[in-house]
């Protein structure tokens, strides 16, 4: 089976983020110090086993090439440059034209930061009866809403998750895309509705994930707030919630089918509180399975790895030793 190639749409002008995007393309905006939107996307591809990525560039393409060159974090990087902006359809078409026949690909918008499991999306897409699958995510209301009963206002809800799904801006194609008679424009408004009518469009869904399209200064502020104490990992992320002289609390998100390194802490005594998900902690001599609301203690110098059988969020409460980790075995090329 041929390896999956990644494509990232990087050619937009980012007009609503001016003046920032007058000198740098939107994918090169930093979401934390020296860590760009595109860094995150390439990191995610590498973590999913995708080590060949086409950057579909246009506006300020040279800035992107300066940063990534031909290789970045073990990912082979190629550039397909649009000479004039003709929409996402034309950019993807140019990318497809450069691939071998029937090569599988994951295509993503260059302004989306998301914690979805790309590896699982590829596995599901390969088994699908549909030639193209779209990642969909639950819509969060951009506004707070009110609930009414009769002639009175009952309650307020601040930006709730709605019972609707939106296009998450990430796509898996089993081979060449059927573009029909379309040559230019946005693929979301042309080809996708056509494929949906012809019953050729599937979807990949993961609920409860962090997802954000960065299109305005307000969204940029929100993503930088999210990343203030967060560090992305090949298996998910780690975020410091509380750090005092007495104790440390971290949030860990581990994607289904992934695990942390096999490691130990010299001083840190920690207790894991499982917020959601399921899996097990692998020790040298045993496995301890967990589910939602379970609690597991890990003593200093106990070697262990946390394995997620479902998307898992846990809170790790420990003594305040922030950088007290000794890795015995690592399962990923990047970190």
Together in a domain, 244 and 215: no
Together in a domain, 71 and 210: yes
Looking at residue 329, its pLDDT comes to 86
C-beta separation of 172 from 105 below 8 A = yes
Together in a domain, 170 and 245: no
Together in a domain, 298 and 324: yes
User: Where are the strands (E) in 185-286, listed by range?
Assistant: 201-205, 211-213, 230-233, 236-243, 248-254, 262-264, 270-276, 279-283
Together in a domain, 101 and 151: yes
* pTM (predicted TM-score): 0.89
d(CA 96, CA 100): 8
Looking at residue 330, its pLDDT comes to 85
Together in a domain, 77 and 150: yes
**The tokens of 312 are what?**
């898992």
Together in a domain, 315 and 274: yes
pLDDT tens per residue, range 268-282: 888 999 999 999 999
* Number of continuous H segments (helices) and E segments (strands) in the chain: 6, 25
Question: How many CB atoms within 10 Å of residue 36?
Answer: 20
Looking at residue 44, its pLDDT comes to 95
Looking at residue 87, its pLDDT comes to 77
Residue where one domain finishes, among candidates 196, 226, 256:
226
What is the signed CA dihedral for 67, 71, 77, 78, rounded to 10 degrees? 90
Query: Apex CA 53: angle with CA 139 and CA 232, to 5°?
Result: 55
SS3 at position 246: coil
Domain count, the chain: 2
Looking at residue 85, its pLDDT comes to 74
Which residues, given as ranges, of the chain have pLDDT below 70?
1-2, 102, 321-322, 335
Query: Where residue 29 sits, what CATH number does that domain have?
Result: 3.90.550.10
Together in a domain, 254 and 105: no
Together in a domain, 203 and 251: no
Looking at residue 125, its pLDDT comes to 92
* Domain around 293: 235-329
Length of the chain, please? 335
DSSP state for residue 92 in the 8-state scheme: H
Together in a domain, 169 and 275: no
In a domain, residue 334? The reply is no
In a domain, residue 9? The reply is yes
Residue where one domain finishes, among candidates 192, 226, 260:
226
Together in a domain, 186 and 125: yes
Together in a domain, 199 and 263: no
């Amino acid at each position: 089976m041929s390896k999956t190639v990644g494509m990232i749409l990087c050619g937009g002008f980012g007009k609503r983020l001016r003046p920032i995007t007058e000198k740098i393309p939107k994918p090169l905006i930093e979401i934390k110090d020296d860590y760009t939107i595109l860094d995150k996307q390439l990191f995610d591809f590498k973590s999913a086993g995708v080590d060949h990525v086409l950057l579909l560039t246009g506006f300020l393409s040279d800035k992107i090439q300066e940063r990534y060159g031909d290789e970045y974090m073990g990912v082979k990087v190629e550039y397909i440059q649009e000479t004039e902006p003709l929409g996402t359809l034309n950019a993807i078409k140019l990318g497809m034209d450069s691939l071998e026949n029937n090569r599988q690909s994951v295509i993503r918008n260059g302004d989306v930061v998301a914690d979805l499991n790309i590896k699982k999306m590829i596995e599901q897409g390969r088994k699908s009866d549909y030639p193209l699958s779209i990642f969909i995510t639950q819509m969060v209301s951009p506004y707070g809403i009110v609930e009414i009963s009769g002639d009175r206002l009952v309650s307020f809800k601040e930006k709730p998750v709605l019972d609707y799904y939106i296009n998450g801006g990430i796509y898996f194609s089993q081979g060449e895309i059927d573009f029909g008679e379309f040559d230019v424009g946005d693929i979301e408004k042309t080809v996708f509705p056509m494929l949906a009518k012809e019953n050729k469009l599937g979807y990949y869904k993961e609920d409860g994930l962090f997802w954000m399209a960065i299109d305005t200064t307000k969204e940029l502020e929100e993503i930088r707030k999210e990343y203030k104490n967060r560090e992305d990992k090949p298996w998910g992320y780690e975020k410091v919630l509380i750090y005092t002289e007495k104790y440390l609390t971290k949030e860990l998100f581990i994607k289904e089918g992934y695990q942390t390194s096999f490691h130990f802490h010299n001083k840190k005594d920690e207790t894991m509180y499982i917020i959601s998900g399921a899996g097990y902690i692998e020790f040298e001599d045993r496995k301890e399975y967990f589910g939602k609301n379970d609690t597991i203690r890990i003593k200093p110098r106990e070697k262990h790895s946390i394995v997620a059988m479902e998307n898992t969020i846990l809170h790790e409460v420990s003594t305040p030793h922030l950088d007290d980790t000794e890795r015995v075995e690592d399962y990923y090329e990047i970190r």
